[in-house]
Amino acid sequence: MHMDDLSVFSGNANRSLAVAICQHLRIPLGDADVFQFSNENIFVKINDNVRGHDVFVVQPFSSPVNRSIMVAAPTRKISRVCLSQLA
């Protein structure tokens, strides 16, 4: 796998973790919009072209867990989802 074919995105639970991972890998953090509507629905939009990429989403399960899971769930359609649980 080449780093050109790797994309890493952040959910809204721990952006600083995703930034640190990208710095370590020497790749830019992917561009995505993640926000919650007033009715508590969550919107996730990947703004980068990820066709042919290995895609990872850094979304630790943190409080509130239900929101963390709902941010990660729509991104499964992109490729593989990497979920990290922090103690």
Is 60 exceeded by the pLDDT of residue 86? Answer: no
Q: Could you give the domains of the chain?
A: 3-77 (3.40.50.2020)
Give the pLDDT mean for 60-75.
Answer: 62
Asked if 24 and 37 touch (Cβ cutoff 8 Å), the reply is no
Whether pLDDT at 76 is above 70 = no
Q: How many alpha carbons lie under 13 Å from residue 50 in its C-beta half-sphere? A: 22
> pTM here?
0.69
